[in-house]
Structure 1
Amino acid sequence: MTAKRVRARRGDGALLRDDLLRVAEELLIATGSEEGVTVRAVAQSAGVTAPSVYRHFADKEALVEAVCLRVWTELTERMCATAEDSTDPFDRLSRAARVYLGFALEHPVQYRTLITRRATGPEAAAAISECLQHFVDTVSACVDAGFLRGDPLVLTASLWSAVHGCASLLIAQPRSHWPADTEAVIDQTVRMAVFGSALSSRLAVTPAAEELAAGLDELTGRWP
């Protein structure tokens, strides 16, 4: 049985809120679904009463959304941090994609919850927008540098689709279906998404296979 929590002192409300969010995220991970995150379960695990939870969160939806807000914020912070020491926009884009994939694999349940649910509150919606804006800004820098061509929003959506697809499959499908070296899969996906975007954004039409192969051989011959 969970021990009853000592009544919070004045000014300790923020600490209790953090505890509730931590417990809610632990329940999310343990149960594998937001269905397992109920106000009653969170209160019991935190050693408080349900009314104590309701003082901070209007309902279960608000509680789960607050958990998602924390996760989106952490992902954004990681992507920004990894780009701080690089001035090359292409390098920053590749780093952001790898951080995104790594984060998803580290936090599979949280990632699945983030992607499959629609944000209803303004704070969570703003956190999602901030995370995606980091991608858009990095892609825009690549366009400005001449590495990519086209609408940054369209390019970002395509790149996001590629890394999300890789993350979702690695999370959902048994590892027996994948090579033992997962990092090699991630590296190949990022290279295909980023370099592929650079190539496709320059092609007005899709060339025939033989013509494309010859052109690529000539191009890659410059970097043995």
Structure 2
Amino acid sequence: MRTMPIMDPTSPSTRGRNKRGQGERLRRDIIDATLRMLDELRDDEALSLRAVAREVGIAATSVYIHFADRDALVFAALEQCTRDLLRDLEAAEAGGGDAVARLRARLLFLGSWVRDHAGLYKVLHESTINQRMHLAFKQELAVRTTAAVRRCMDEGLAPAGDAAEVALDLRAAVHGAVSMRVNEPAMAWPPLEEQVDRFLVKLVGVRA
């Protein structure tokens, strides 16, 4: 996510009128501001379109040009967040090594992302928008994890089996581990690297 300067919240007119062709840029600025605020608020229902408009430095009516309501804005922001996360996960996995090393790098990057963006993680996976809307774009996270597990099997580094089923168990374990760290930060948690290694051995079946 880009780091955008915070506008003067008392002056909704601090941003000039967009020139022709700059509407998409304003839309992305609104999404960027929404992501920053969701990361701080940790709750999609605590977000208001008026507050987002102040953050961007525009009139509240300008937000409605791009988004029908708060849910539509949060959906678009989480979709962009997931797209950016997928890109970064792929970059982490491309660091080299065999299929197990790449899968491990993917899971550890997810852990570091959750540590740095705990609020966004809670909104993406634990907020009420998950009950109100179908966040279909999240499915790609599962698809790519399944593909990573299947590569481990194809390379003979994990027992052959149902890659989707194994990936589901792995994702449940990893998400449980990172979610507990977010929601119970005072607990004495073991290093995430150690837990991920145990998950890979016990759930995927790789050699220790």
Q: Same fold judged by TM-score > 0.5? A: yes
Question: Percent of aligned positions with the same letter in both sequences?
Answer: 26
Question: Could you tell which deviates more after superposition, 154-163 or 71-80?
Answer: 71-80
Deviation at 1:38, TM superposition (A): 1.6
Q: Structure 2 length normalisation: TM-score?
A: 0.85
In the alignment, what sits opposite 1:149?
160
Deviation at 1:87, TM superposition (A): 4.8
Larger radius of gyration: 1
Amino acid of the structure 2 residue aligned with 1:151: D
Q: Structure 1 length normalisation: TM-score?
A: 0.79
Q: Deviations over 1:98-155 (max 9, x none)?
A: 111111111000011111242836xx52x32222221111101112223133211110
Q: 1:31 aligns with which of 41, 45, 60?
A: 41
Deviation at 1:29, TM superposition (A): 2.5
Deviation at 1:3, TM superposition (A): 4.4
Deviation at 1:30, TM superposition (A): 2.9
CA contact (8 A) 1:162 1:189 kept: no
In structure 1, what is the Cα distance between the partners aligned to 2:133 and 2:174?
A: 25
CA contact (8 A) 1:149 1:198 kept: no
Amino acid of the structure 1 residue aligned with 2:177: C
| Secondary structure at the counterpart of residue 55 of structure 1 | helix
In structure 1, what is the Cα distance between the partners aligned to 2:92 and 2:62?
A: 38
Deviation at 1:89, TM superposition (A): 0.9
Q: Deviations over 1:10-53 (max 9, x none)?
A: 11101111111121122212323112222122122222222211
Coordinate RMSD, CA, aligned: 2.1
Unaligned runs of 5+ in 1: 202-218
Moved over 4 A (4+): none
In the alignment, what sits opposite 2:11?
2
In the alignment, what sits opposite 2:69?
59
Unaligned runs of 5+ in 2: 1-9
Q: Is 1:73 the equivalent of 2:83? A: yes
| Secondary structure at the counterpart of residue 66 of structure 2 | coil
